[in-house]
Structure 1
Amino acid sequence: EGVAEPDEDDDAGENSSNPADRDSGDAADQDSGDSVDMTSDRSLDDDASPDGPVLGTEDEGPPEEDGVADMLAVQTKFDELNDRHLRLAAEFNNFRRRTEQQRLELWSRAQADLVEKFLDVLDDLHRVADLDLSNATVEGIMEGIDLVEKKFVRVVADTGMEMIDPVGDAFDPERMEAMMRVPTENEEEDDVVAQVFQKGYTLKGILVRPARVSVHKHG
């Protein structure tokens, strides 16, 4: 009896006003969130714009400049190789000239050494030619000539030259030249050297001159 009952109108007013306020607040918060999301989307769109810079890339320069640099590098390499080629060609030509000059010098030296060995024989021939025939005999002259011949043969042998004197040997077309054929009744003498007209010579296995001979021919 002494307790006052709550006013139903006041409670109804509070209950009726609170949901509306909450709804309007929620709507405002949602609008604010949508606004933030739209702003973020526009920022992302601006970053992805083709006119803007691409993230994670570097400025590589115009393609024309890269092509010019490559051409200059190739030209430099070509110049280096060409210079090396010219140097090698010049060195090879110098080497060839030196080799040819050395070969000629060696050949001339060998000829000089060979001629030197025959000088003593030439001196002996001069002595024979200068003999006083009034005081010389035929036997003495022939003996002197025989000595000169033996000395000459010895000098020739020292150079590596060998004489081909094939009397009685089988005919060898590699070392002999048949000047004529001599008929024979003996079958065993067929193709055997009958006579040597001119002796042949070889120098260290190389044929210098073939022996000129006559050959027996059976039948």
Structure 2
Amino acid sequence: MENNQENTGQSPEENNQDKFENLSGEEILNKIKMDGDENTAATDADEGNEGNELLKRLGLSKKDKLKKENTELKQRAEELNDKYLRLYAEFDNYKKRTAKERTEFAKIAGLDVINSILPVLDDFKRAQKQRETSRDLNALNEGVQLIYQKLNNIFESRGLKPMNSIGEPFNPEFHDAITEVPVEDRDMKGRVVDEIESGYFLNDKIIRHAKVIVGK
């Protein structure tokens, strides 16, 4: 500093004074304004650089955030896809298992009915042998009646019930009319006068309509 002052012979304050010494008042004001504008421009430039740097950092931060969200969405989609595939496989196995169980149940149910009827079949065989050797028709008729009752009891124990049709009004929900015949009794007009085949219920569900003759 001392060397500087020795070389120039003036202090910084004296130099500033020399800058304005030969200027008019208006020129001095303009000079001060120009110096201020230069300082402001420099400050604005610095602030602009800082702003650009901040925007740059914000842009990178937003990009990183979007990248992270995209990765998370992909992971979630993969998890949901795996879950769907597992559920689909489980449901497919369930359908196969239930179908197999239904088939096996139907086989077992049919086997149970057949086993219950076999004793009745044995009774019919014995009655047939007895008919070949015995001339007692009354005994044969009683044997056949007993066999019929035994078979009927087996079916009733499984929910089978015969439909009572004779004398009932004709009802297409229960009856299939084979033909119509004239009747003298007016009360029998439109009613079942004879039954060709009996109708049956299984647990209150119609499994066979009765084939009937209707009076007219």
TM-score by length of 2: 0.71
Distance in 2 between the 1:40 and 1:101 partners?
91
Which residue in the other structure is 2:125 paired with? 126
- 1:112-167 deviation digits (Å, cap 9, x = unpaired): 22222212212211222233623452222222111101111111111111112422
Which residue in the other structure is 1:94 paired with? 93
Cα distance change of structure 1 residues 141 and 53 upon mapping to structure 2, 3 Å threshold: same
Contact in 1 for aligned 2:127/2:143 (Cα 8 Å): yes
- 1:80-110 deviation digits (Å, cap 9, x = unpaired): 2222211111111111111222222222222
Which residue in the other structure is 2:184 paired with? 185
Written as runs of structure 1 = structure 2, the 5 A alignment for 1:1-219 is 28=14, 31=17, 41=40, 44-48=43-47, 50=48, 52-54=49-51, 57=54, 59-60=57-58, 61=60, 69-131=68-130, 133-217=132-216
Shift of 1:55: 9.0
Aligned length: 187
Rg (Cα) greater in structure: 1
Which residue type is aligned with residue 189 of structure 2? D
**Cα RMSD, aligned residues only:** 3.3
Higher helix share: 2
Contact in 2 for aligned 1:165/1:196 (Cα 8 Å): no
Query: Mean alpha-carbon deviation: is it higher for 198-207 or for 58-67?
Result: 58-67
1:167 aligned counterpart, secondary structure: coil
| Uncovered stretches (5+) of structure 1, i.e. residues with no partner | 1-26
Which residue type is aligned with residue 53 of structure 1? E
Contact in 1 for aligned 2:160/2:201 (Cα 8 Å): yes
Distance in 1 between the 2:45 and 2:197 partners?
115
Shift of 1:63: 6.9
1:122 aligned counterpart, secondary structure: helix
TM-score by length of 1: 0.70
Which residue type is aligned with residue 209 of structure 1? R
| Uncovered stretches (5+) of structure 2, i.e. residues with no partner | 1-12, 20-31
Which residue type is aligned with residue 196 of structure 1? E
Which residue type is aligned with residue 54 of structure 1? G
